[in-house]
């Protein structure tokens, strides 16, 4: 009795035996007087008054002693010990109790006391099986370490590894705190299409799908941007959306094909205002969720207390290399520099694109403390408003923390004629072979022609933010079910 097939069979036999004795192993409901967490909170009164309680949980440990048994029940991450005695239950019920396994859910009735070793414990008068478990849980002491199993069977990971549970609790609290923060500032949360006839608002390869009844191809969105801006045209002045984007790109420790993005738009603001706003928002979130404004990330301490450093992209390159700003003036110069740095450059790459590549190579990984990189090349920012004094640059920033890009924001381009020219430049790049260049969206241009107020908008990668807040080195650690290759077909043995 002990390879997996045998153990599964063993548990099936116990299940059948319980059924034969009239036990329903999967009853509908169980009325508790207290959750386990509530028992612990109210323990002083419950012990002093010797009150009868009913609670429920999953059996996670088991120590049998002949005619008594100790076990721990877990409910929603909180554990309590139970003490089961044959002289309390009677022999028949006690023998049946021994048919239970680690992993089963039970409801227990009894009262609280302290053991000799001073552990709060329920002495059980009566129990009910609530769910029979047919597969063994991972081992109690070493837990579950196999990364593949952790991701494929995340429920086991959550049961076996308390730190994993904490990460996803924190993720939930962080997202709730973001909603609270924005709602307090008069933002409204909206939902825009995930399936779009044209994938817009970012430079990325999309997933494509097909609607049968309409007989049309649709793209899973790579960004909600163009729809959110239509809402600004429609008179909503502060909107945000927290939802999934889909990009058909490679996977890495920082990229999952579907990822969660916050985008928000603020009318009458520009990118300078958004930098102030972002500093305050992230520092407030850290204070609220972590209780402090410092992050421990990869052996470094990150200080989120504002103000944060603001550097133009050209200044950042100069600050982190021996390149001078004046050496980045024209296309030929940056092509030469890229060549010296062994940065692969495409023949038709623009000045702006090469400058961005140089920046990513020499400066980006060094931006550990929060840093706004501002004033991007216009050529790589087709939706951003140009700087009034220099049309080669736009009012755009990206926020880097811990060497990762966390946010991307700009003064939104609301001049429909300029926007049309920018789209046309993208179409030309696409024709030249860049399959990530953006599409010309006539419907969006029509909206802009009706008038969008001056607006600043920002996107924040929620997964990466959670990585920072939880000191996680891989995006898979903060996504419950990260994308993996298809699993091998389950073996016959495994199905038994």
| Among 326, 388, 486, 495, interactor with RNA by CB under 7 A | 486
* Residue 147 touches RNA, criterion: CB under 7 A: yes
Q: Considering only 133-141, 264-272, 367-375, 388-396, which stretch makes contact with RNA by CB under 7 A?
A: 133-141
Considering only residues 340 to 379 of the shown chain, the ones binding RNA according to CB under 7 A are 344, 357
* Residue 306 touches RNA, criterion: CB under 7 A: no
DSSP H or E stretch at residue 399 = strand 390-401
| Among 180, 189, 217, 249, interactor with RNA by CB under 7 A | 249
* Residue 430 touches RNA, criterion: CB under 7 A: no
Give whichever of 182 and 467 is closer to RNA, judged by the CB atom: 467
Q: Are strands 78-85 and 120-131 parallel, antiparallel or unpaired?
A: parallel
Dig out the tokens for 120 from the structure.
Answer: 């709060």
- Closest distance to RNA from the beta carbon of 453 (Å): 25
Beta-carbon contacts of 373 under 8 Å, excluding residues fewer than 6 positions away, are 311, 312, 313, 316, 359, 363, 367, 397, 398, 399, 400
Residue count of the chain, please give it: 496
* Residue 214 touches RNA, criterion: CB under 7 A: no
- Closest distance to RNA from the beta carbon of 406 (Å): 8
Is the distance from CB of 114 to CB of 120 less than 8 angstroms?
A: yes
The residue behind tokens 């980045």 is 328
Q: Among 97, 100, 101, which residue's Cα sits nearest to residue 110? A: 97
* Residue 12 touches RNA, criterion: CB under 7 A: no
Main-chain dihedrals φ then ψ at residue 181, nearest 5 degrees: -60, -50
What is the DSSP secondary structure assignment for residue 392, as one 8-state letter? E
Main-chain dihedrals φ then ψ at residue 335, nearest 5 degrees: -65, -45
Q: Among 198, 241, 243, 201, which residue's Cα sits nearest to residue 217? A: 198
| Among 116, 332, 347, 495, interactor with RNA by CB under 7 A | 116
- Closest distance to RNA from the beta carbon of 358 (Å): 12
Q: Considering only 30-38, 114-122, 179-187, 281-289, which stretch makes contact with RNA by CB under 7 A?
A: 114-122
CA atoms of 282 and 188, how far apart (whole Å): 19
Angle at 248 between CA 244 and CA 250, to 5 degrees: 110
Dihedral (C-alpha) 102, 103, 104, 105: value to the nearest 10 degrees? 120
- Closest distance to RNA from the beta carbon of 157 (Å): 10
- Closest distance to RNA from the beta carbon of 64 (Å): 5
- Closest distance to RNA from the beta carbon of 142 (Å): 4
| Number of CB atoms found within 10 A of residue 171's CB | 23
* Residue 142 touches RNA, criterion: CB under 7 A: yes
Q: Considering only 3-11, 284-292, 309-317, 447-455, which stretch makes contact with RNA by CB under 7 A?
A: 3-11
Dig out the tokens for 138 from the structure.
Answer: 């991972």
| Among 31, 326, 487, 495, interactor with RNA by CB under 7 A | 487
Dig out the tokens for 103 from the structure.
Answer: 């992993």
- Closest distance to RNA from the beta carbon of 6 (Å): 6
Considering only residues 328 to 347 of the shown chain, the ones binding RNA according to CB under 7 A are 344
Considering only residues 51 to 110 of the shown chain, the ones binding RNA according to CB under 7 A are 61-68, 70, 72, 81, 83, 85-87, 101-102
User: Residues 260-299: x/- map of binding to RNA (CB under 7 A)?
Assistant: ----------------------------------------
CA atoms of 473 and 464, how far apart (whole Å): 10
* Residue 213 touches RNA, criterion: CB under 7 A: no
Q: Among 32, 28, 22, 84, which residue's Cα sits nearest to residue 56? A: 32
Dig out the tokens for 24 from the structure.
Answer: 């329903």
List the alpha helices (DSSP H) in 299-377. Answer: 313-319, 331-340, 351-362
* Residue 155 touches RNA, criterion: CB under 7 A: no
Considering only residues 450 to 469 of the shown chain, the ones binding RNA according to CB under 7 A are 461, 463-464
Q: Considering only 29-37, 232-240, 441-449, 480-488, which stretch makes contact with RNA by CB under 7 A?
A: 480-488
Q: Among 365, 258, 387, which residue's Cα sits nearest to residue 312? A: 387
Considering only residues 17 to 56 of the shown chain, the ones binding RNA according to CB under 7 A are none
Considering only residues 390 to 409 of the shown chain, the ones binding RNA according to CB under 7 A are 405, 408
| Among 143, 197, 403, 416, interactor with RNA by CB under 7 A | 143
């Amino acid at each position: 009795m002990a390879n997996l097939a045998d153990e599964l069979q063993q548990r099936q036999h116990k299940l059948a035996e319980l059924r034969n004795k009239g036990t329903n192993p999967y009853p509908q409901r169980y009325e508790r007087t207290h959750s386990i967490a509530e028992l612990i909170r109210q323990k002083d009164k419950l012990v002093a008054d010797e009150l009868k309680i009913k609670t429920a949980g999953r059996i996670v440990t088991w120590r049998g002693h002949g005619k008594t048994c100790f076990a721990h029940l877990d409910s929603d991450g909180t554990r309590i010990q139970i003490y089961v005695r044959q002289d309390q239950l009677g022999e028949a019920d006690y023998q049946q109790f021994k048919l239970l396994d680690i992993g089963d859910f039970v409801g227990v009735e009894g009262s609280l006391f302290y053991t000799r070793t001073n552990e709060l414990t329920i002495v059980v008068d009566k129990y009910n099986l609530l769910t029979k478990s047919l597969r063994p849980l991972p081992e109690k002491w070493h837990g579950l370490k196999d990364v593949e199993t952790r991701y494929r069977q995340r429920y086991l990971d959550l049961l076996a590894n308390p730190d994993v549970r904490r990460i996803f609790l924190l993720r939930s609290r962080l997202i709730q705190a973001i909603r609270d923060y924005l709602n307090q500032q008069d933002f409204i949360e909206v939902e825009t299409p995930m399936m779009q006839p044209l994938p817009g608002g970012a430079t990325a390869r999309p997933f494509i799908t097909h609607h049968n009844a309409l007989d049309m191809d649709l793209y899973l969105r790579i960004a909600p941007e163009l729809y959110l801006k239509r809402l600004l045209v429609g008179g909503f002045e502060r909107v945000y959306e927290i939802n999934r984007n889909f990009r058909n790109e490679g996977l890495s420790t920082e990229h999952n094909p579907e990822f969660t993005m916050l985008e928000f738009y603020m009318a009458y603001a520009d990118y300078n205002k958004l930098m102030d706003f972002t500093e305050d928002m992230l520092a407030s979130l850290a204070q609220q969720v972590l209780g402090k404004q410092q992050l421990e990330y990869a052996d470094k301490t990150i200080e989120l207390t504002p103000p944060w450093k603001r550097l133009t992209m050209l200044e950042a390159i100069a600050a982190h290399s021996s390149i001078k700003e004046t050496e980045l003036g024209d296309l030929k110069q940056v092509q030469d520099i890229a060549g010296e740095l062994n940065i692969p450059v495409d023949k038709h790459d623009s000045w702006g694109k090469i400058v961005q590549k140089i920046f990513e190579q020499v400066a980006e990984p060094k931006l550990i403390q929060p840093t706004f990189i501002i004033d991007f090349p216009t050529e790589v920012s087709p939706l951003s408003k140009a700087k009034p004094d220099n049309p080669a640059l736009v009012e755009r920033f990206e926020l880097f923390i811990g060497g990762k890009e966390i946010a991307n924001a700009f003064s939104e381009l609301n001049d429909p004629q300029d926007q049309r020219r920018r789209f046309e430049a993208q179409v030309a790049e696409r024709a030249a072979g860049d399959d990530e260049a953006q599409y010309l969206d006539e419907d969006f241009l029509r909206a802009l022609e009706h008038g969008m107020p001056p607006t600043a908008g920002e996107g924040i990668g929620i997964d990466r933010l959670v990585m920072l807040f939880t000191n996680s080195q891989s995006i898979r650690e903060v996504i419950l079910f990260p994308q993996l290759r298809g699993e091998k077909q389950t073996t016959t043995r495994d199905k038994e």
